[in-house]
């Protein structure tokens, strides 16, 4: 976990919002990021259960988590393909940008 994002979160320079109610519910849930098996389990990071300890409920959780990750990755892919400018630095002076 050597990314800048991890350093900012771990150093408390980026803070997650406080837990909030789920839509149309009285259940509160924390804000989290979704990860894959390679990441450690952290309070703000959801990752799938290990394959060697799967029950039916855990397998179902893994499938839903994977679907959520794929949906998010596709959304970012669409944004990236639509606005390629986000893939590089803006090539204009700050004073000239509207």
Tens of each residue's pLDDT in the chain, 98 residues: 567 888 888 888 988 899 999 999 999 999 999 988 888 888 889 999 999 989 999 999 999 999 999 999 999 899 888 887 777 777 778 787 76
Alpha helix (H) residue ranges in the chain: 4-10, 56-82
- Per-residue pLDDT tens over the stretch 9-23: 888 898 889 999 999
CA atoms within 13 A on the CB side of 66: 9
- Read off the pTM: 0.71
Q: Are 30 and 43 in contact (CB under 8 A)?
A: yes
* Whole-number percent of the chain with pLDDT over 70: 97
CA triple 7-9-15, angle to 5 deg: 155
Domains of the chain, residue spans = 4-96
Q: Which residues have C-beta within 8 Å of that of residue 29, sequence separation ≥ 6?
A: 19, 20, 21, 22
């Amino acid at each position: 976990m050597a990314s800048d994002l991890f350093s900012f979160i771990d150093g408390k320079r980026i803070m997650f919002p406080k837990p909030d109610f789920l839509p149309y519910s009285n259940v509160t849930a924390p804000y989290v990021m979704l990860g894959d098996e390679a990441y450690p389990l952290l309070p703000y990071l959801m990752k799938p259960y290990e394959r060697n300890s799967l029950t039916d409920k855990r397998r179902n959780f893994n499938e839903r988590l994977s679907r959520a990750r794929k949906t998010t990755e596709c959304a970012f892919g669409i944004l990236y393909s639509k606005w390629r400018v986000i893939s590089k630095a803006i090539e204009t002076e700050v004073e000239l940008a509207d």
